[in-house]
Structure 1
Amino acid sequence: MKNDKKVTLEDYRGIIKDGDISVHLTRDQKAMILKTYDYGLNELTEIDEMLLSAVIRQLKAAIDQ
């Protein structure tokens, strides 16, 4: 049976710790963040999406530590 409950930010707040995180971003990853901010997610190419996903994976790994 499928669970139709919408996942909210509140669902995640209880599983993370307070505090700062640090990640190292490549020049391309930094450029991708700026492009995404300036033009939005809908303007990303497939390669752009892969670069952005790599940034999100790095952030997730740092948060999960």
Structure 2
Amino acid sequence: MKAVAQKKLTDEEWLRDIFEYERTHPIAFASPRALLEARMIAEMDKARRPRRRARRNGAVRPRKVAAR
């Protein structure tokens, strides 16, 4: 089977393709420091969220105790 030869891109087409790739794949062009900061922010957001346990089948719901 013969491989299909791709046409050679002009400089303008090549640059446009590179810019398009960079726009659609920002993570590939991020600096290591920016990636580290993004991970730290995600961890902080995760820690800030209240942790609620999922109700299991047959689990008794906690009742509010009426103030006397």
Superposition TM-score tier, normalisation by shorter sequence: 0.3 to 0.5
The structure with the largest helix share of the pair is 1
Superposition TM-score, scaled by structure 2 size: 0.33
User: Which is higher, the Rg of structure 1 or of structure 2?
Assistant: 2
